[in-house]
Amino acid sequence: MNDHSIIIRPLLTEKTISARTIGGKYYFQIHPKANKIMVSQALENLFKVKVSKCNTYNIKGKKNRGRQGKTYRSNWKKAIVTLKEGNFDFYEGI
Amino acid sequence: MSVESKVEKLENAKVKLTIDITASDVNQGFDKAYKKIGAKVKLPGFRPGKVPKSILKQRYEDTVKNEAFEEILNQAIETAIVKDKLNIVSSPDIENVTDVYTKLQENESLSFQAVLEVYPTVELGPYKDLTVTAKTFYYDASHVDLELKKLQDREAEVIKKENDTAETDDLLQIQCNFYLVAKDEDNNLLRHINLNGNDEWFGPHQDQLLGMKVGDEKDFGMKIPEDYGVEALEGKDGYVHVKILEINYIDLPDMDDELAKDYNFDTLDDLKKDIETKLEETVNQKKREETFSALVEEIITNSQFDMGEAVVENRINQNLRTMQKQLEKMNVSLEHYLAMIRKSLDEIKDEMRESSLKDIQFDLIRQSVIEKEKIEVTDEDMDLEYKRYADHAKIPFEEAKKALSQNTTLDTLEYGRLHNKLIDFLIEHNTAKDGEKEAIQINS
């Protein structure tokens, strides 16, 4: 598992943007097998920042009801990161 | 929005506006554009209208800029027009649009130039002490007779003939069927014809119909009419099968005092006198109109107009719209009408061009003469109009005044009164020489 496969994408929604503005928290979708330490290290390597806190959650895939009966979206993992120093370009100016 | 603008006059009633917009106004324009685009876009994770500006900027930069460009320039031009009190007639033409577009950036001021056409102006030439030649009109005994005949016709009755033969001047209702060689196709057609030799189809062949009775049928050779409606037959030598359905004759009243009484006159002479007075009025009115139009023509030649193309074009379109509305009332579309008169839209527009130009020139002259001579409609003038209406409608003066003041006809009345005063003024201050004489036309 390399750094790029750990951090899948930043989550940009109204909720995450207000969390960043109010509490300096950044949301990411991460590899389901990655843990807090791996995420912190990957972010520090990729974006040259210092992470102070990293919380992770497993999100259960939602149920889909289709013609084939019940199906599921895949489970995924979310990380909420607080930074000690530095920032992420893609979040800036939002 | 506050803009700095300079107005530079060009030829043909055009002006060049140089407009400077401050950076803050540019930003305001961009903000509006962001808001407008933001309300439309749908992005997962965001409710409509809640997408942050930076994300919009990342993804919809071009759309936002287009919107902002339109918004900023339109508003700037609008503000400048109001500020400089321009009466514009064309949409603005922005010089070097692509350059202006590239120059438009957030946080930067912008300056651009736009060319607009304004309402034409006139430098009025001499309009007093002119001498013009105008047509004059006359009427004679034949006109009086024609008018009398018209009244007589109006009182005529159409009476059905039973078991009698068709004679000259009778009205027939026939069923006709045209064919080329033999009776190959049924094209039964009902037609009313007047046996006075003027019928478009049967006029030259009406002798064939004389002496026939109701229910009679007859075949005879004739040229099939051009407007028959069956293309294969039109204009060819063929035959017609005619069946008489109805024969009527016109019962004309005698031209005597009795006729006069129907029109509220005691004797025929009184009626004739009344007709003569009316004809006299028509003659005078027509002479007045002719003199006025000759004078206007002369003043137009004497005056200098600063006028562009767009104003004429607008007038033509306005006329076209009026025409279209009138046609719609008769349930005819403009396309159908054009096909009927076999003309293209461009040809119609070309025909309208000259008269529209004259109309505008006349408007300008009218306006400036009225302003210069301070011609205006006074209360007494309006009282005269009310009185005329009251006499016409046979109601008390006050009631007429009330009725007219309540609806929109008041403007039309005032305009008409002003127009009349202008005609009076021009005729009074100029000389009209009698030109060629023409008999007045009487509509049948």
Centroid of chain to Cα A12: 10
The Cα–Cα gap between B73 and B90 comes to: 16
A17 chain-B contacts, CB cut-off 8 A: 52
Domain assignment present for residue A94? The answer is: no
Amino acid B231: pLDDT: 66
Domain assignment present for residue A23? The answer is: yes
What's A77's domain CATH number?
3.30.70.330
B45 chain-A contacts, CB cut-off 8 A: 11-16
* pLDDT tens by residue, A67-93: 878 888 999 999 999 998 777 766 655
A7: exposed, middle or buried (Cβ count in 10 Å: 0-12, 13-18, 19+) = buried
Amino acid A58: pLDDT: 96
Range of A49's domain? 3-83
SS3 A8: strand
The count of C-alpha atoms lying within 13 angstroms of the C-alpha of B360, restricted to the half-sphere facing its C-beta, is: 25
| CA-based nearest distance A72→chain B, Å | 20
Domain assignment present for residue A53? The answer is: yes
Domain assignment present for residue A88? The answer is: no
| CA-based nearest distance B350→chain A, Å | 59
Domain assignment present for residue A73? The answer is: yes
The DSSP secondary structure of B184-220, one letter per residue, reads: -S---EEEEEETTTT-TTTGGGGGGTTT--TT-EEEE
Q: Which residue of B has its CA nearest to A12?
A: B45
For B199, the token pair is 């019928």
Angle between the B409-429 and B397-406 helix axes, to the nearest 10 degrees?
110
Q: Is A11 on the interface with B (CB under 8 A)?
A: yes
* pLDDT tens by residue, B43-95: 888 888 888 888 888 888 888 899 999 888 888 888 888 888 888 888 888 88
Domain assignment present for residue A52? The answer is: yes
Domain assignment present for residue A60? The answer is: yes
Centroid of chain to Cα B263: 34
φ, ψ (nearest 5 deg) of residue A81: -120, 135
Q: Which residue of A has its CA nearest to B52?
A: A94
Amino acid B198: pLDDT: 62
Q: How far are the Cα atoms of B313, B314, B317, B333 from residue B324, in angstroms, in the given order?
A: 16, 15, 10, 7
The Cα–Cα gap between B211 and B167 comes to: 6
The Cα–Cα gap between B12 and B402 comes to: 46
A16 chain-B contacts, CB cut-off 8 A: 45
As for how many domains chain A has, the answer is 1
Q: Tell me what ipTM this predicted complex has.
A: 0.79
Flag residues of chain B having pLDDT under 70: 163, 180-200, 228-233, 407-408, 444
The Cα–Cα gap between A36 and A78 comes to: 10
- The residues that bridge with B250 in the sheet, in sequence order, are B158
Amino acid B189: pLDDT: 62
B56 chain-A contacts, CB cut-off 8 A: none
Domain assignment present for residue A93? The answer is: no
Q: Is A19 on the interface with B (CB under 8 A)?
A: no
